[in-house]
Structure 1
């Protein structure tokens, strides 16, 4: 790596850690270098899109963190992609990983809600719950109508989490339910890495 690139990475890391409190400067630099590797070290020109596209990002989630659900991986991509340009920039990458790997409960609640709000309208609807739960449940071939079981589960979940009884989950509903019962954080599917995956990732990336 040239001195110029090294200096650029150091400056970028300093800028990012002013907003991201979960990583120190050395860790931020490691994550920026990893991002550059994943991007294939593309030349810096105005015509190059500087970001991970959906396919590259999903590949990372699958290979590194063992995620397999397409719907959840798309949701994680959108939660990282704050400016909705269909690419995860280097800043979005480090900021997203700060919550993904080391977030507080409040940060994870906001992150999970963003993942589950599939159409980004500020609510988790019955339809969204149905699609996510249907994807995450193992279908039993002996069931005559597995969709009915999912619909029942949606109604049970709503009864538990829909505090204002409007038939959908607002962020306030979701946050209140999770704070009362932390296990509800990933109620609609796995969208956070397990402790083993986090440890392996951090040992590999931060070993220097």
Structure 2
């Protein structure tokens, strides 16, 4: 990408991005094209990070291991659902992912957890996610029972209108009272340590980060 184009893209994205300054946006764009450079060696491939490349970053950089949650995070970034994260989606996604306000993070986490996109987190969805994210205890006769109990406890704590599922209003109220419930159904935001490491590296020299990903 030539300098003029990079400049223009940086300006545009900085305007629409409230959590990064111009220098940071510029670093993220460079990093994006570094990462994409490897992913799109194939001629005719669209420019962007596909699901696998993106999940690799989530795994290597932010320590995520849960396939289902990583998939949902990918969908959270890929706003136009075209199967790749474009440079715009990358910068906007990271803005929220790394520095979003509580409001933005609640909305994002809720969308991640609302697996079928119907505006509610149902018991089935909770069960599904908790089953994935909890470690199996070999001693338990029926681990599913433990997860069902956990779902009931969570509902008791978060389901304010007692309709047996979580609306965004329920979820928001619960998180405002107890911040730890933000990621109640699985880690879909970076932990503070990996966030700091990522920012320290990328906002110093994106090439550095890129080389580390490959070493």
Residue range with higher mean Cα deviation, 51-60 or 116-125: 116-125
Give the match for residue 117 of structure 1: 114
Q: 2 CA distance for matches of 1:38 and 1:125?
A: 36
Q: 2 CA distance for matches of 1:196 and 1:141?
A: 30
Task: Tell me which stretches of 4 or more aligned residues in structure 1 moved more than 6 Å.
Answer: none
Give the match for residue 80 of structure 2: 83
Give the alignment of 1:105-184 within 5 angstroms: 105-184=102-181
**Is the partner of 1:85 in helix, strand or coil?**
coil
Give the match for residue 204 of structure 1: 201
Q: 2 CA distance for matches of 1:117 and 1:26?
A: 34
Give the match for residue 96 of structure 1: 93
Q: 2 CA distance for matches of 1:165 and 1:88?
A: 38
**TM-score, reference length from structure 1:** 0.93
**Is the partner of 1:39 in helix, strand or coil?**
helix
**Is the partner of 2:48 in helix, strand or coil?**
coil
Q: 2 CA distance for matches of 1:104 and 1:196?
A: 18
**Is the partner of 1:22 in helix, strand or coil?**
coil
Cα distance, 1:194 vs structure 2: 1.3
Give the match for residue 212 of structure 2: none
Cα distance, 1:193 vs structure 2: 0.9
Give the match for residue 26 of structure 2: 29
Cα distance, 1:48 vs structure 2: 3.4
2:47 to 39, 46, 50: 50
**Ranges in structure 1 where 5+ consecutive residues have no aligned partner:** none
Q: 2 CA distance for matches of 1:193 and 1:64?
A: 9
Q: Deviations over 1:85-115 (max 9, x none)?
A: 1211111100010111111111111111111
Alignment: residue pair count: 203
**TM-score, reference length from structure 2:** 0.90
